[in-house]
Structure 1
Amino acid sequence: MAEHTAKVPPRWFIRLAWSVHRGMYRVTGGRFGLRRPKGRRWGMLRLTTVGRRTGAERNVIIAYLEDGRNLVCMAMNGWADADPAWWLNLQAHPEATVRLPGGTRRIRARPAVGAERDRLLDRWRETDDDFDAYTAMRSRETAIVVLEPAA
């Protein structure tokens, strides 16, 4: 197997791309910016959390995979070392809302652990040949977040 090297654009470019993506989502009324996973390609959903300090709604568009009725995300921050704010918010307030192509649903977030984490991490590896090179860029373990349908 060939060794891969992670190539990540500068942080300013990543932040700009996120802003443009959110802007396109807003301008098109949600018609652009979300997609279902297909084959090796991950999907994109809009997550609405409650801010851990402000209590205000916070929106972010993140990648996900489907695992039965659950949605699975990686708590990465453009491969930067810090955990993303949305994951910190979910740790404080696990109930949230996701918008997918075709509808909205209430979810409850939790970290995947043990064998479940290993299995879901393998699923993420299937989406990118450079996956392990990207995860090696972080000094901390990247949380695998399971978004279960809320009761």
Structure 2
Amino acid sequence: MGWYTNVIRSLGHRQWFAVAGRNLVPIDRWLQRKTNGRITILGRSALPTLLLTTRGRKSGLPRTVPLIYAPDGDGFVVTASNWGQEHHPAWSANLLASSEATISLEGGRDVPVRAALAEGAERDRVWPLVTKVWPAYDTYVERSGRAIRVFVLTPTG
């Protein structure tokens, strides 16, 4: 891991960084789509990121969000941290309503996945995977005052 990644991971604990990150999500989503995931708002390859597309539970429309992930065998682990806000992000409720989703990885590769909410021993197993990639998730738990949802995404295709 390079110095740039270490700086970004350190800044992740700061409240102002979370606010800035939240506001930059639309730009990051656009940038990742235009570059087939090669470039993100944080720079190229600073952290493993993917684009998660869910189906809106109310609208039925596709909803895409950029997320940091941790690899887990053939699968992926993502958190619904919402940058440490008090409420869960909408995409996590979409996954609870329908576990079918698609992820876009670097290179523009789209992968259909099935999402499972990690609970109990499974959550205990995968939480260290995501905090190793983004240690600020522990700070987000403290800041939000809620149990952050964690999902394991398993390829179905």
TM (norm. structure 2) is 0.78
Q: Which moves more between the two structures, 92-101 or 126-135?
A: 126-135
Q: Which of structures 1 and 2 has the bigger CA Rg?
A: 1
Unaligned runs of 5+ residues in structure 1 are 1-5
Structure 2 residue 139 is the aligned partner of structure 1 residue 140: no
> How far does residue 23 in structure 1 lie from its aligned partner after superposition?
2.9
Which residue number in structure 2 is paired with residue 84 of structure 1? 89
Contact 2:69 2:130 in 1 (8 A): no
Contact 1:65 1:71 in 2 (8 A): yes
Q: 1:133 to 1:33 in 2, by over 3 A?
A: closer
Report percent identity of matched pairs.
33
> How far does residue 10 in structure 1 lie from its aligned partner after superposition?
6.9
Which residue number in structure 2 is paired with residue 21 of structure 1? 28
Q: Which moves more between the two structures, 53-62 or 128-137?
A: 128-137
Which residue number in structure 2 is paired with residue 108 of structure 1? 114
Task: Measure the CA separation in 2 of the matches of 1:127 and 1:59.
Answer: 21
Which residue number in structure 2 is paired with residue 46 of structure 1? 51
Q: Which moves more between the two structures, 43-52 or 124-133?
A: 124-133
Letter of the structure 1 residue corresponding to residue 155 of structure 2: P
Q: Which of the pair is proportionally richer in helix?
A: 2
Q: 1:30 to 1:70 in 2, by over 3 A?
A: closer
Aligned residues: 142
Secondary structure of the 1:126 match is helix
Letter of the structure 2 residue corresponding to residue 113 of structure 1: E
**Root-mean-square deviation (Å):** 2.5
Task: Measure the CA separation in 2 of the matches of 1:73 and 1:124.
Answer: 7
TM (norm. structure 1) is 0.81
Contact 1:42 1:65 in 2 (8 A): no
CA offsets per residue over residues 13-43 of structure 1, 9 Å max, x none?
A: 3332212212323444554239xxx8xx741
Contact 1:25 1:31 in 2 (8 A): yes
